[in-house]
Amino acid sequence: MRAPAVVLALVATVVMGAVAAAPLDAPIVATHEAKPQGPIAVDVRLAAPPALGVPLTVTITARAETVDRLRLEARVDDSAALVIGAQSGPVDRAGARSWVVTVVPMHASGGTLSVVVAGEIDGVAQARSVTTEVRPAGAVPTVRALSVAATVGGGENLSLLPVEERF
């Protein structure tokens, strides 16, 4: 009977000592789990609304732990609809690297500008891709058929897929 009372007294003494030792002004920290972010963040901004045949300045800004090894690759999905005019060299400011790309919408449907920012972060090759629609106001994107019906009855359909060859 005495053993449980002694154990209870011992536990109470330890708990009271721990509570008394805790700092009273310790801040309460709320934590929440956020979605993990990649090592490279990319922001694409158009200087003005796109207009047919008018050069448009696009600023691409990348942020990473080390920006000195980041490089930019800019492409368009349809070179007849959107033309890349010029691309400036990188400008580094406050942990960010920026490029200025000039594009010209040449077709009423506009086009898509795809940018890839790549570099080496902590010894590992990393890349981030962002796609931006560049369409004049009120433009509707053109839809290209990916499947062509057979011209002869009983034939097979032909599916067309975009291909890019690199050597």
pLDDT digits (tens, 9 = 90+) for 42-91: 999 999 999 888 999 999 999 988 878 899 999 998 888 899 988 998 99
Predicted local distance difference test score (pLDDT) of residue 18: 46
Predicted local distance difference test score (pLDDT) of residue 46: 92
Q: Do 101 and 86 touch, CB atoms closer than 8 A?
A: yes
Instruction: Report residues of the chain scoring pLDDT below 70.
Output: 1-37, 138-167
Residue boundaries of the structural domains of the chain: 41-140
Predicted local distance difference test score (pLDDT) of residue 140: 61
Predicted local distance difference test score (pLDDT) of residue 28: 47
Predicted local distance difference test score (pLDDT) of residue 30: 45
CATH 2.60.40.10 fits 41-140, yes or no: yes
pTM listed for this prediction: 0.61
Predicted local distance difference test score (pLDDT) of residue 74: 93
Predicted local distance difference test score (pLDDT) of residue 26: 46
The residue behind tokens 């207009």 is 51
Predicted local distance difference test score (pLDDT) of residue 148: 54
Predicted local distance difference test score (pLDDT) of residue 67: 79
Q: Do 105 and 82 touch, CB atoms closer than 8 A?
A: yes
Output 79-88 pairs: Cβ under 8 A, ≥24 positions apart.
80/106, 80/107, 81/105, 81/106, 81/107, 81/109, 81/110, 81/111, 81/142, 82/106, 82/107, 82/110, 82/111, 82/112, 82/113, 82/134, 84/113, 85/55
Residue 15 three-state SS:
helix
